[in-house]
Amino acid sequence: MDLSVVWLFSSAVAFIGTVVLREICMWLRNLIPKSVECWFCMHKTEVPYNLSNSWHCPKCEQYNGFTQDGDYNKAIDQQYDGKLNFSVSTFGRCKNAWRRENSLCNKCNRNQQLKVEQLAKFVPLSERNYDAEVEHF
């Protein structure tokens, strides 16, 4: 057998072997799930490898799939049609529900008020040393 035929045959076998090995690796990679973290709620979950940049979080239902510059990598219909979004109802909420009660006790409230008053009266000797002077004050 001629040496060039042997070389050609072994090159063809090596090439075909490499292609087959690559395909087996790609097939195995798609079988093993990839661990991902939701960008919005930080919930960790596993998705198929080929969907690692295009999935919905099972906890907050947000879409996670982004381009290199941070945009979504697909069109999201809910961004363009308000009818597709969930409606939010304010029924049953009291008018001042957004106001939070003061959670400090009377003594702490008084101390806080004194601190605010003293800081309002503070005048530094040098503006450049304001932080150091206010700490010493």
pLDDT at 89: 64
Pairing of strands 34-37, 44-47: antiparallel
Buried b (16+ CB within 10 A) or exposed e, 35-61: ebebeeeeeebebeeeeeeebebeeee
Residues 72-89 pLDDT 10s: 998 888 778 777 777 666
pLDDT band at 29 (very low <50, low <70, confident <90, very high): confident
4, pLDDT greater than 90: no
pLDDT at 115: 86
Residue 97 has pLDDT above 70, yes or no: no
pLDDT at 94 over 70: no
On whether the pTM is more than 0.75, the answer is no
pLDDT of residue 92: 58
